[in-house]
Amino acid sequence: MVVGDISTGTDVLVIGAGPGGYVAAIRAGQLDLDVTLVEKDAYGGTCLNYGCIPSKAMITASDLAHEAGHAEEMGIYADPEVEMGEMVGWKDGVVDQLTGGVEKLCKANGVELMEGRAEFASEDKARIVHGGEGQGSETVEFEHAIVSTGSRPIEVPGFDFGDDPVLDSRQALALEEVPESLVIVGAGYIGMELAGVFAKLGTDVTVVEMLDSVLPGYEDDLARPVKKRAEELDIDFHFGEAASGWEESGDGITVRTEDEEGTVSEFGAEKVLVAVGREPVTDTLELENAGVETDENGFVQTDDRARTNVDHIYAIGDVAGEPMLAHKASKEGQVAAEVIAGEPSALDYQAVPAAVFTDPEIGTVGMTEQEAQEQGFEPVVGKFPFNASGRALTTGHADGFVRVVADEPSGFLLGAQIVGPEASELIAELGFAIEMGATLEDVAATIHTHPTLSEAVMEAAENALGHAIHTLNR
Amino acid sequence: MVREFKLPDVGEGVAEGEIVSWLVEEGDPVTEDQAVAEVETDKAIVEVPSPVDGTVREIIPEEGEVVEVGSVIITFDVEGEEAEPADETTESATSEQSTESQTETAEEPEVSADEEVSTGEGRVFAAPSARRLARELGVNIATVEGTGPSGRVTEQDVRQAAESPDVQDTSGSTEGPSPMDSSGSTGGPSPESTGGATSGPAPESADRDRTLAAPATRRIAEEQGVNLNAVPATEQRDGEAFVTSEAVMQYAEAQQQAQQEQAETAAATPAGEQVERIQYKGVRKTIGDAMSRSKYTSPHVTHHDTAVVENLVDTRERLKPKAEEQGIRLTYMPFVMKAVVAALKQHPKLNAELDEEAGEILRKKFYNVGVATATDAGLMVPVVDDVDQKGLLQISSEVNEVVQKARDRSISRDELQGSTFSVTNFGAIGGEYATPILNYPEAAILGIGELKQRPVVEDGEVVAKHTLPISLSIDHRIVDGADAAAFANTFIEYVENPELLLLE
């Protein structure tokens, strides 16, 4: 303990108030545990402040602007004018409402809120360092701790997020003006989502990707409609090239890339956005003082009850490993709190859904056909293209498909992949079906509302069973 | 890669089959679903299809050999993948698919080879609510057999799995039938009972006077030997029952099946599926072992008597509100325990045990009373120590506590050991007398019947009085019948005059 420290005690110390941490804290509070939640920056974490929510706000706004200006086919002629500062202001309002809500919910559930950065001092003590000169620190003694410090963007050598024209996703979502041109380094989901936003707002977008396709983590046929649509929006792609540096030039910058053979290319732009992935924030915690181990990538290893190698210390969300998804973090937070309270809780979900908010959207859950095969199932797939969906055609977005993967002998659903309109919403039904242990027949025999996009889910299941109505069977 | 193929479950409940003929030879190329062998079971000859495209690597059993379901009969080199040395076949095939979850289940005996091929990595299909219930009940859901669609594990399956290892005795709180359930009612619907219903008597005859049917249907009925008037009508025409040819065929088949099943049932197991088989293991077996050891080690003698306990009832009624003020629910048990200890002090032979090895009788100068308790897991005997040194309220609160702990299974081993004498209150469920089995190696156990009003003769008149029947079992090796009777008399004196306990 440092001289002058104030020491307090708590049942559960939650470090980090993102979607994992605040959910854990609230749940623990509901279970009558004494909870202290420490946050160094903003309640709601990356998700609410700099990630999911602001990006989705900007995607919606840019979609609206773009669609209004490109609806001649439907007889609509408009030329929307975008006031970027106001758009960002609206987005900030949404964020403020949500983060304020988190704070209120925490307090209403008896969660003690504390601002500062936590460091472990020992197995049962943490020091909370308050920001700013002379703010000092205090010590919290805990029975249990939940580490939920999340992740941060990975920097590429030569691109320092502190430099003005170099943006991380957080800075890109806070721009006051639409840049005229933008180089995006990385064609993963963050890069592709933001490429869509800025292209629709009128920015000249160039995407540079080291690998050979967009959305490298996804199957080719899912990524293809996204790339096709991006090209329609005049996004310029350069695959097989790694960003190696940048320099100021005239009224903008020049970004240099290099391919495997060492060939250098140069791209002029106003700004460069680096979105090559995220890394867990575990290096500021002094985990070693508590004896908590991390793997070579900095992730904390946990068991099915979110426990680390130290029994009373838990880790949830991005720090506990892939997939780095807010909803996974929240579920882990609930489980950690329940386990601490002595409830028979465990992380035994069958599948974690994921969504990419590109144009068109991608939604996935569970296994791909290949994964099912590798895991010893006898997979059968069923597919339904949105261009056979009445509702999809009436939205003006009929690219993409729904695909279901099931175990043929038993009919159990194992996974699903959707690319197309509202894929992020549609995937929920299939996630539910997988968790419930539903079979293809269960999904196919459930009446789906007509005319909706969700009919495509039913049709895909029917296709897998060999009796689809609106498509030719496999 | 080498792919092993195990003889699948070729017919319902078939455990083995004879390889009638191999349709392929080693080195032959095969395609998926191509028949590779004919296997005869006690029901039929079936063709066994290849699960993969590849080449036959090894044929294991010879024609004519009888093989068990689940044993490897043939291996394939899977197309496009490199072959491995033959001696690594088994090892590689298992390690290839092994994951943590499989390692866990690998120790379990395999149910069926077919299942392993088709259901992937030992994944369990169950709704989240069933998974949570399994955790709550401490059931490993991976070991539960599912009865839902396609073998999905339902909440009911989990509950049954939770109950099966140690089925209840005196506790009536569990769902479903228990072996002691003499009423014969089977509780809620269970998969077993549903399954059992299918092998029932012949389908009910509709037994009409007049039935409409197409000529072709009438011919079919004649061929099948079916009385059209007995076939359940699927629809009505002009207000009359109309029977289709399908209905006739269904009826005929059902009738044949029922006849066959009846014949089979008669020949094989008369009780058929009306008998539920429950594993004798876990807590149930522990209790059983302790009972037989006690019963067959100590010669039991049981002494019966009845106390007239009007005063006890009054006393308890008076003290009950006082106890409640202190948050304690006062039952008769603390009075019984105090009376037991008072009697034991006067008859120390009953607070003893026989150390057979040392050849010594151990008389105990401390008074720890065990209280037999029916729990969901079975009979347990939590112990209240040093009853002689405690007041009624303290005993009351301690009994309540240990009994509750026994019921919710949070009781520690220590709290179940060290009794010197036990009390069993079968009267809480009902009844007058029973033969308590000694909580071995204790020398005696007191059984308490139901305390209620019974006819008592007083001054030549029959009057209704509260009476307490008691059954005292003793180890006749070290306690004589006279000792038992003397102890019982003292005990009765105390419960009939509870104010005497004040002198203790």
> Does any CB of chain B come closer than 8 Å to the CB of residue A186?
no
A344–chain B nearest CA distance, Å: 6
What would the mean pLDDT of B281-286 be, rounded to a whole number? Answer: 74
Whether B114 shows a pLDDT value over 50: the answer reads no
The residue of chain A with its CA nearest to that of B94 is A376
pLDDT, residue B179, reads 35
What would the mean pLDDT of A384-406 be, rounded to a whole number? Answer: 96
Are A116 and A129 contacting, i.e. CB atoms less than 8 angstroms apart?
yes
d(C-alpha A26, C-alpha A12), whole Å: 11
pLDDT, residue B290, reads 86
Q: Which residue has the tokens 């030549």?
A: B460
A372–chain B nearest CA distance, Å: 8
Pairing of strands B352-355, B360-363: antiparallel
Confidence band for B426, pLDDT divided at 50, 70 and 90: confident
Residue among B119, B126, B127 whose CB faces A407 most closely: B119
> Does any CB of chain B come closer than 8 Å to the CB of residue A442?
yes
Q: B99-113, B284-298, B421-435: which range is least confident on average?
A: B99-113
Average pLDDT of the residues of chain B: 77
Whether B264 shows a pLDDT value over 90: the answer reads no
Most confident region among A401-405, B106-110, B317-321 by mean pLDDT: A401-405
How many Cα atoms are found within 13 Å in the side-chain-facing hemisphere of B312?
28
What would the mean pLDDT of A82-101 be, rounded to a whole number? Answer: 95
CA distances from B357 to A203, B353, B405 (A): 95, 12, 34
The pTM of the full predicted model, rounded to 2 decimals, is 0.57
pLDDT, residue B3, reads 79
What would the mean pLDDT of B234-250 be, rounded to a whole number? Answer: 75
Residue A262 is encoded by which pair of tokens?
A: 């060492």
pLDDT, residue B91, reads 39
Whether B493 shows a pLDDT value over 90: the answer reads yes
CB contacts of B121 in chain A (<8 Å) are 375-376
d(C-alpha B14, C-alpha B39), whole Å: 12
d(C-alpha B449, C-alpha A332), whole Å: 53
Whether A4 shows a pLDDT value over 60: the answer reads no
> Does any CB of chain B come closer than 8 Å to the CB of residue A437?
yes
What would the mean pLDDT of B254-282 be, rounded to a whole number? Answer: 70
What would the mean pLDDT of B209-214 be, rounded to a whole number? Answer: 73
pLDDT, residue A215, reads 96
Q: A283-292, B52-61, B71-80: which range is least confident on average?
A: B71-80
CB contacts of B120 in chain A (<8 Å) are 372, 375-377, 407, 414
Q: A224-238, A299-313, B392-406, B457-471: which range is least confident on average?
A: B392-406
Q: Identify which has the larger pLDDT, B480 or B25.
A: B480
pLDDT, residue B263, reads 67
Pairing of strands B421-424, B369-375: parallel
Size of interface A-B (CB pairs under 8 A): 55
Q: Are B119 and A375 in contact (CB < 8 Å)?
A: no
> Does any CB of chain B come closer than 8 Å to the CB of residue A376?
yes
End-to-end Cα, chain B, rounded Å: 83
Are A315 and A300 contacting, i.e. CB atoms less than 8 angstroms apart?
yes
Q: Which residue has the tokens 């964020």?
A: A95
Q: Are B149 and A442 in contact (CB < 8 Å)?
A: yes
B187–chain A nearest CA distance, Å: 27
The residue of chain B with its CA nearest to that of A373 is B120
Residue among B121, B128, B136 whose CB faces A376 most closely: B121
Q: A180-189, A259-268, B171-180, B252-261: which range is least confident on average?
A: B171-180
Bond before A360 cis per omega within 30 degrees: yes
What would the mean pLDDT of A28-42 be, rounded to a whole number? Answer: 96
What would the mean pLDDT of B424-446 be, rounded to a whole number? Answer: 90
Residue A470 is encoded by which pair of tokens?
A: 């609106």
Q: Are A410 and B123 in contact (CB < 8 Å)?
A: no
> Does any CB of chain B come closer than 8 Å to the CB of residue A436?
yes
Whether B65 shows a pLDDT value over 70: the answer reads yes
> Does any CB of chain B come closer than 8 Å to the CB of residue A149?
no
pLDDT, residue B273, reads 64
pLDDT, residue B84, reads 43
d(C-alpha B79, C-alpha B128), whole Å: 39
Whether A452 shows a pLDDT value over 80: the answer reads yes
A309–chain B nearest CA distance, Å: 18
Confidence band for B196, pLDDT divided at 50, 70 and 90: very low
Whether A409 shows a pLDDT value over 60: the answer reads yes
Confidence band for B9, pLDDT divided at 50, 70 and 90: low
Q: Are A348 and B131 in contact (CB < 8 Å)?
A: yes
Q: What sign does the dihedral B129-B130-B135-B138 (CA atoms) show?
A: positive
List all residues 6 or more positions away from A104 whose beta carbon is below 8 Å from its beta carbon: none
DSSP string, B474-492: EETTTS-HHHHHHHHHHHH
pLDDT, residue A430, reads 98
pLDDT, residue B502, reads 86
What would the mean pLDDT of B161-180 be, rounded to a whole number? Answer: 46
Whether B85 shows a pLDDT value over 70: the answer reads no
> Does any CB of chain B come closer than 8 Å to the CB of residue A435?
yes
What secondary structure letter does DSSP report for A412?
Answer: B
Whether B217 shows a pLDDT value over 90: the answer reads no
Whether B265 shows a pLDDT value over 70: the answer reads no
How many Cα atoms are found within 13 Å in the side-chain-facing hemisphere of B207?
3
Best residue of A377, A380, A405, A465 to probe chain B, by most B CBs closer than 10 Å:
A377
d(C-alpha A26, C-alpha A105), whole Å: 7
pLDDT, residue B28, reads 85
Residue among A344, A378, A414 whose CB faces B136 most closely: A344
pLDDT, residue A469, reads 87
Bond before A451 cis per omega within 30 degrees: yes
B268–chain A nearest CA distance, Å: 32
Q: What is the 3-state secondary structure (H, E, C) of B268-333?
A: CCCCHHHCCCCCCCHHHHHHHHHHHHHHHHCCEEEEEEEEECHHHHHHHHHHHHHHHHCCCCCCCH
Nearest of A232, A260, A233 to residue A244 by alpha carbon: A260
Whether A318 shows a pLDDT value over 80: the answer reads yes
> Does any CB of chain B come closer than 8 Å to the CB of residue A368?
no
What would the mean pLDDT of A137-156 be, rounded to a whole number? Answer: 94
Most confident region among B86-95, B167-176, B477-486 by mean pLDDT: B477-486
Helices and strands (DSSP H and E) totals, chain B: 13, 21
CA distances from A178 to A41, A83, A267, B57, B350 (A): 27, 9, 18, 66, 95
What would the mean pLDDT of A81-105 be, rounded to a whole number? Answer: 95
For residue B466, indicate whether it is catalytic: no
pLDDT, residue A389, reads 95
Q: Which residue has the tokens 């040819």?
A: B245
What would the mean pLDDT of B301-319 be, rounded to a whole number? Answer: 94
Confidence band for B386, pLDDT divided at 50, 70 and 90: very high
Q: A283-292, B33-42, B420-429: which range is least confident on average?
A: B33-42
Residue among B117, B118, B152 whose CB faces A437 most closely: B152
pLDDT, residue B269, reads 53
pLDDT, residue B88, reads 38
CB contacts of B148 in chain A (<8 Å) are 437
Q: Identify which has the larger pLDDT, B100 or B222.
A: B222
Three-state DSSP class for residue A108 = helix
Confidence band for B503, pLDDT divided at 50, 70 and 90: confident
d(C-alpha A17, C-alpha A40), whole Å: 9
Nearest of A390, A359, A385, A393 to residue A457 by alpha carbon: A385
pLDDT, residue B201, reads 42
B152–chain A nearest CA distance, Å: 7
Percent of chain A's residues with pLDDT above 70: 97
Residue among A348, A350, A407 whose CB faces B118 most closely: A407
Three-state DSSP class for residue B32 = coil
CA distances from A153 to A22, A263, A279, B444 (A): 21, 27, 6, 75
Cα B40 vs. chain centroid, distance in angstroms?
A: 36
Q: Are B120 and A372 in contact (CB < 8 Å)?
A: yes
Average pLDDT of the residues of chain A: 94
Whether A143 shows a pLDDT value over 90: the answer reads yes
pLDDT, residue A244, reads 95
Q: Identify which has the larger pLDDT, B341 or A471.
A: B341
CB contacts of B119 in chain A (<8 Å) are 376-377, 407, 409-410
Percent of chain A's residues with pLDDT above 90: 93
Residue A275 is encoded by which pair of tokens?
A: 């979105």
Residue among B97, B125, B148 whose CB faces A376 most closely: B97
ipTM above 0.90, yes or no: no
Residue among A409, A436, A442 whose CB faces B118 most closely: A409
CB contacts of A305 in chain B (<8 Å) are none
Best residue of B94, B101, B125 to probe chain A, by most A CBs closer than 10 Å:
B125
pLDDT in tens, A191-208: 999 999 999 999 999 999
Q: A341-350, B85-94, B216-225, B492-501: which range is least confident on average?
A: B85-94
Three-state DSSP class for residue A250 = coil
Q: A247-251, A464-468, B73-77, B83-87: which range is least confident on average?
A: B83-87
pLDDT, residue B101, reads 36
A415–chain B nearest CA distance, Å: 13
